[in-house]
Amino acid sequence: MSGPLSGSGPLLRVGVRFAPSTRNLSPEALKKIDEAIARYPEKRSALLPALWIAQQEQGYCAPRAQEQIAEKIGVSPSFVASVVSFYTMYHTQPVGRHVIDVCTTVSCWLRGSDALVAHLERKLGIRVGETTADKRFTLRTVECLGSCGTAPMCQIGDDYHEDLTHERIDAVLSGLS
């Protein structure tokens, strides 16, 4: 859902595209989901944890995994899909090995996030929302990551990369395979 939204820009269209899949979750993943379910007084609370487990294993919340999770949690597949599409951190398509989430909200914007995004688009040769051809990087813009004091910054995987300059982000990226 990230991407430039200008006043009279390109057509605004709805629609989550779920990349199709037939791959089942591994027995280990299913076991982790069972453990998550056991931690909560009610099963459905384990839905978000289960989706994290699925995404960790398969790289995105694939439809087949959603169906398996639906069965375990006791909800309909549509319910799971509607939850996946609500939260920005769940991917509905395969993404690059490293997802670069650049914060572009007020404080980061004030400290140069626009230029940072433009720099990354140039450097990686892709637009926001796209993935490099070698599947190494996906570039996204996101809203406030709670790091306004060290703006501009981005999140890649688990890590925050703060106080960014163009040189610093270049160095970070070159260290990622």
Query: How far is the C-alpha of 93 from the C-alpha of 61, rounded, in Å?
Result: 8
Question: Does 145 engage in binding with other proteins (CB under 8 A)?
Answer: yes
| Exposed / middle / buried, residue 80 (Cβ in 10 Å: 0-12, 13-18, 19+) | buried
Question: Does 5 engage in binding with other proteins (CB under 8 A)?
Answer: yes
Question: Does 65 engage in binding with other proteins (CB under 8 A)?
Answer: no
Which of residues 72 and 137 has its CB atom nearest to other proteins in the complex? 72
Question: Does 44 engage in binding with other proteins (CB under 8 A)?
Answer: yes
Q: How far is CA 53 from CA 21, 30, 47, 95, 120, in A?
A: 16, 9, 10, 16, 29
Question: Does 126 engage in binding with other proteins (CB under 8 A)?
Answer: no
Query: CB atoms < 10 A from the CB of 163, how many?
Result: 12
Question: Does 119 engage in binding with other proteins (CB under 8 A)?
Answer: no
Which of residues 120 and 154 has its CB atom nearest to other proteins in the complex? 154
Question: Does 175 engage in binding with other proteins (CB under 8 A)?
Answer: no
